[in-house]
Amino acid sequence: MKTKTILLVIGMTLMMSPAFSQSFDDYLEVVRDVLNTEKKAAVAETMALSEAESGAFWSLYNEYNAELYKVHTERVNIIKDFAANYESMTDEKADDLVKRSLAYQTKLLKLNKSYFKKFKKILPATKAALYFQVESKIDDLVNASLALEIPLVNTN
């Protein structure tokens, strides 16, 4: 599964320092673009859409991923805020970070529920389910790499 390996490696780079003189935010956008390109290739490979399904699917896919990008940007901002405050974590900041993280998870779930309904309108439920399985597996790979890179809250 070459595509899964590539996605894992790209996901793991999300928290690495850039080797170039670009700012971290610029570097992060490049990584996100590459991840999205690889994700789209994995989706295309897995979905095996008919010609009739393809146009509507990719249009909705692009719409969904634009919304997903916004929600994931919230997660990126939470991670960056955590990193900026790691050494001087206060109870107030930890509380804020957890509340924001829970709000992010709620938005992500709401988005997925909404778009699953939309995908079922243009695809059989089995293919809509397959698409969301692929999305979930890719998200799990990214989350696993982030879990390896992000330390636990500093309580000292």
pLDDT in tens, 75-114: 999 999 999 999 999 999 999 999 999 999 999 999 999 9
Nearest CA to 142 out of 45, 17, 25, 36 is that of: 36
16-20, 31-35, 36-40, 79-83: segment of lowest average pLDDT: 16-20
pLDDT in tens, 115-126: 999 999 999 999
pLDDT above 70 as % of the chain: 86
Write the DSSP string, 44-113: HHHH---HHHHHHHHHHHHHHHHHHHHHHHHHHHHHHHHHHHSTT--HHHHHHHHHHHHHHHHHHHHHHH
DSSP state letter for 153: P
Q: Which tokens go with 14?
A: 């999300």
| Residues 42, 134: Cα–Cα separation, whole Å | 8
Average pLDDT (8-36) is: 65
Residue 18: the pLDDT is 44
| Residues 97, 131: Cα–Cα separation, whole Å | 30
DSSP state letter for 40: H
